[in-house]
Amino acid sequence: MIEGLQRLGRATLFWFNRLGRATLFLLRLLGALAALGRRPGLIAKQLYSVGVLSLPIIAMSGLFVGMVLGLQGYANLVDFGATSSLGTVVALSLVRELGPVLAALLYAARAGSALTAEIGLMKATEQLAAMQMMAVDPFARVFAPRFVAGVIAMPLLAGIFTAIGILGGYFVAVQQLGVDSGAFWSQMQAAVRLVDDVINGVVVKSVVFGWVANWIAVFEGYDAIPTSEGISLATTRTVVNTALVVLALDFVLTAIFFGA
C-alpha cells in the first residue's frame, strides 16, 4: 500500500519533471525561430516529409470516414424521413470534430513518430553532438525547421481530410443512397457557419493540435535514450501522448466553442 503511494508520488514528480523539460525545450525552440527566417529552404524540405508524404494516408482515411458518415447518417435519419439533413450531419461532424481530431491522430502516427525516430537516431549516432561540436545549434538547424513545417502542415492536412470526407459523404449519399443532391448541399450550407463552425472547428483546432503534435514529436526525439530500445520507446510515447493530449484539448475546445 505504502509502496504503491510512493511509486505514484515518484511517477508524478517524474511527470512534472518531464513537463518542465518539455517546456524549456519549447522555449528554446521558439528562440531559434528567428535564425530560421534566413533559411526557408530547411522548412521546405521538412514540409515535404511531414506534409506531402502524409497526404496518402490523410486523403484515404478522410474518404473512408466521410463515406462511413454518409452511410451511418443515412441509416439513422431515414427512420425520421430526414435524409435531406444528411449533408448537414456529415459536414458538421467532420468540420467540428472528426476532421481536426482524426487528422491529428493520423499525423501523430505517421509523421510524428517518424520525426521522433529520426531525431532519436541522430542523437544515438552522435550526429547532434557532432553538430554542437561544430558550433552549429541543433535547435536552429534540426528541431526548429521540423517543428515549423509540422505546424504549417497540420491545418492543411486537416482541411484536406475534412474536404475529402465531405466529398466522400456526398458520393455515398447522393450517388449510392439516392439522397437529393440539391438538398444535400443547400441544407449543409444553411447549417454550417463559416466562423462558428469552420474557423472555430477545423482551423483553430487543427492549429492547436499542430502545435501539440509537433512539440511532442520533436521533444520525444530530443529526450530519447540513445539506444535502439530507447528510440522505440520514444516513438511509442509520441503517438500515445499526442493522442491523449489531442483528445483532452479537443474536449476543452469543444466546450469553449460549441458548448451551450
Partner 1 sequence: MGTLKKLELAVGVFVVLGLAAFFMLAMKVSNIADLGEDKGYKITARFENVGGLKVRAPVTLGGVRIGRVVGIDLDPRSYEAVVTLSIEPKYDRLPTDSGASILTSGVLGEQYVGLEPGGMDEYLKNGGSLKLTQSALVLEKLIGRMLTNAASGDQPPTKTP
Partner 2 sequence: MSATVPASPHDPPDESPLVIARGLTFHRGDRAIFQNVDLDIRRGGITAIMGPSGAGKTTLLRLIGGQLRPDAGRIEVDGACVHELGRRELYQLRKRMSMLFQSGALFTDLSVFDNVAFPLREHTRLPENLIRTLVLMKLEAVGLRGARDLMTSELSGGMARRAALARAIALDPMMIMYDEPFSGQDPITMGVLIKLIRTLNDALGLTSIIVSHDVKETASIADYIYLISDGLVVDHGPPDALERSSSAWVEQFLHALPDGPMSFHYPALPYAQDLSLE
Residue 114 in the binding site for partner 1 (CB under 8 A): no
Which of 74-82, 118-126, 127-135, 239-247 is the region at the interface with partner 1 (rule: CB under 8 A)? 74-82
Q: How far apart are CA 34 and CA 30, in angstroms?
A: 8
HSE of 144, CA atoms in CB hemisphere, 13 A: 21
Helix (H, G, I), strand (E, B) or coil at 32: coil
Residue 60 in the binding site for partner 1 (CB under 8 A): no
Residue 73 in the binding site for partner 1 (CB under 8 A): no
Asked if 238 and 112 touch (Cβ cutoff 8 Å), the reply is yes
Interacting positions 119-158 with partner 1 (CB under 8 A)? 152-153, 155-157
- Among 56, 126, 176, 228, the residue binding partner 2 under the rule CB under 8 A is 126
Residue number with CB closer to partner 1 (30 or 190):
190
In sequence order, the 6+-apart residues with CB closer than 8 A to the CB of 240 are none
Residue number with CB closer to partner 1 (153 or 231):
153
In sequence order, the 6+-apart residues with CB closer than 8 A to the CB of 257 are 196, 200, 201, 204
Q: How far is the CB of 166 from partner 1 (least distance, A)?
A: 6
Task: Measure CA 153 to chain center.
Answer: 9
Asked if 183 and 84 touch (Cβ cutoff 8 Å), the reply is yes
Interacting positions 156-185 with partner 2 (CB under 8 A)? none
Q: How far apart are CA 59 and CA 74, in angstroms?
A: 23
Interface positions with partner 1 (CB under 8 A): 44-45, 47-48, 51-52, 55, 80-82, 91, 95, 152-153, 155-157, 159-160, 162-164, 166, 185, 188-194, 197-198, 202-203
Interface positions with partner 2 (CB under 8 A): 121-122, 125-127, 129-130, 132-137, 141
